[in-house]
Structure 1
Amino acid sequence: MSQRVTRRQFLNYSLMGVGSFMAAGIAMPLGRFALDPVFKGGAAGNMITTSVKTSEITQVPSKVDFKFEQKDGWYTSEVTEFAWVYKEGDNIVALSPTCKHLGCTVNWAGDDSHPDQFFCPCHNGRYKKNGKNIPGTPPLAPLDQYKVGEKGGMLTIGKKHPNELVK
């Protein structure tokens, strides 16, 4: 015995099927968005190993280059940046070269009249060795600091954070 499907049942089944596909089409991207952090792979490590040995770092700030991969959408590029690195006692300090006034690059001993300071050539901004902005010059905040470490005798540089040396 075969049961016949009435028009009303057919319409009900059809609308339920189409409605289910539409609901799934909306719910799948929303679910993926909500669960994306779970599916995202962890970083291989936050610290970037440089080519500088920690034993070679002195008390005079020196320029240390480091490279990392940056992903913008689908495009991946290798970015080269640098930090001003020096030893303060047993601690290694790495400061950002970006001026807090307008984002220009600061240089160590860049001004002959102030040889032991960082100098920003854009607007004659100056910073002390620890990155503290000198009052009366354009920068309104100290230079940022990088997290530093050591791996196999080589200097490693991590993320940038607000300067902790300046109180």
Structure 2
Amino acid sequence: MSQKVTRRQFLNYSLMGVGSFMAAGIILPMGRFALDPLFQDQAEGSMITTSVKAEEITEEPVKVDFSFDQQDAWYESEVTDFAWVYRDGEEIIALSPVCKHLGCTVTWAGDDANPNRFFCPCHNGMYEKNGQNVPGTPPRGPLDQFEVGTSDGYVTIGERFANEII
């Protein structure tokens, strides 16, 4: 003997099925978004190996280029940047080339009147060799530092952070 399904039961079953399908369509992407970081591969390291040998670094700051892959949403690109690297005793120091005033690029010995300082050509800003801004010039703070190390004899550059040597 078969049971008859009433119109009311049919409507309840239909609405529950459609409602469940819609709820799953909303909840599953949210769950995936929450759990996605657990399934991502971890970065092997944040240090970028440059083409400059550590033994070549002297007390005179030199421009050291490095490049890394950057991913913005779905777009991946190779970014090229550089740091001013020099040796202070046995320690290797890497400074950011970005001026703290307006974000211009500073150069070492770029001003003939100040050959042993970093110079920002935008507003004649100056920094000492350790990144300290020269009083009376536009920069409001010291140049940032990069984490620096060596790997197989080559200089490695890491994360940028606030200057700690001044």
- Coarse TM-score class (shorter-chain normalised): over 0.9
**Which residue of the partner structure matches residue 81 of structure 2?**
81
How many residues end up aligned between the 2 structures? Answer: 166
Q: Counterpart in 2 of 1:147?
A: 147
Instruction: State which drifts further: 117-126 or 28-37.
Output: 28-37
Structure 1, unmatched stretches of 5+, are: none
**Counterpart mapping for 1:63-78 below 5 A:** 63-78=63-78
**Which segment drifts farther, 27-36 or 146-155?**
27-36
Tell me how large the CA RMSD over aligned residues is: 1.1
Structure 1 runs, 4 residues or longer, greater than 6 Å off = none
Deviations 1:2-54 (A, max 9, x none): 22211111111111111111111111122122223212221232111000111
Q: Distance in 2 between matches of 1:144 and 1:150?
A: 20
Matching residue's letter, 2:164: E
1:54-65 correspondence to structure 2 within 5 Å: 54-65=54-65
What is the aligned partner in structure 1 of residue 33 from structure 2? Answer: 33
Shift of the alpha carbon at 1:104? Answer: 0.6
Q: Distance in 1 between matches of 2:122 and 2:143?
A: 15
SS at match of 1:123: coil
Give the whole-Å Cα distance in 2 for the aligned partners of 1:75 and 1:64.
26
Q: Percent identity?
A: 69
Q: Which residue of 2 aligns with 1:22?
A: 22
Aligned-residue offset at 1:73: 2.7
Query: Residue 131 of structure 2 aligns to a residue in which SS?
Result: coil
Report the AA paired with residue 92 of structure 2: I
Instruction: Tell me which amino acid in the other structure corresponds to 2:26.
Output: I
Deviation at 1:78, TM superposition (A): 1.4
Deviates more, 1:22-31 or 1:140-149: 22-31
Q: Distance in 2 between matches of 1:41 and 1:13?
A: 43
State whether structure 2 residue 112 is matched by structure 1 residue 121: no
Look up the SS of the partner of 2:100 in the other structure.
coil
Answer with 148-157 or 65-74: which moved more. 65-74
| TM-score, structure 2 normalization | 0.96
- Which segment drifts farther, 72-81 or 5-14? 72-81
Q: Give the corresponding residue for 2:90.
A: 90
Structure 2: gaps of 5 or more residues = none
